[in-house]
Amino acid sequence: MEFHVYETGETVRARQRPVIIITSNNEKELPDAFLRRCFFHYIAFPDRATLERIVAVHYPEIENRLVQRALDVFFELREVPGLKKKPSTSELIDWLKLLLSDRIPAEALHNPDASKAIPPLYGALIKNEQDVQLLERLAFMHRRQQR
């Protein structure tokens, strides 16, 4: 019900029992003894309509065609089997910021050629070298099948 701030020498005491909210992205397993004392609530990944609303909050003036094509690419990447880290909402927001700042048009994101599986400025979406290599291998395999 209290903690000490060493830097200021102050002790902070709760007047009422605090509610503590801890979030996790499942990067590490939490100990069972800790989890037994927790109430667990799972939040599902946002659907397309929710992501559209999230993007609109961050970029109210963004062209709808760019958002739609970016979301197409984003969800396609999330479906790639074997990805170590699927791109998340924050990566989508960062990627859109880069697309806007580099003035990359919506048409550049629509590529029916699956051999070019890696989207422009992919470093904002794909944060793992193994995942980049996986996408490169998939693109290579698709090119070989087309011959």
Of 7-11, 48-52, 65-69, 120-124, minimum mean pLDDT range: 120-124
**Shortest CA distance to 99 belongs to which of 128, 129, 66?**
66
CB half-sphere exposure, 29, CA atoms < 13 A: 3
- Residue 25: pLDDT above 80? no
pLDDT of residue 75: 95
d(CA 53, CA 88): 15
Reported as a single tens digit per residue, the pLDDT across 48-96 is 999 999 999 999 999 999 999 999 999 999 998 888 889 999 999 999 9
2 vs 6, 8, 37, 44, 67, CA distance in Å?
13, 15, 19, 34, 47
- Residue 112: pLDDT above 80? no
**Shortest CA distance to 92 belongs to which of 130, 128, 66, 131?**
66
Token match 């490169």: residue?
136
Token match 């479906």: residue?
79
Contact (CB, 8 A) for 92 and 51: yes
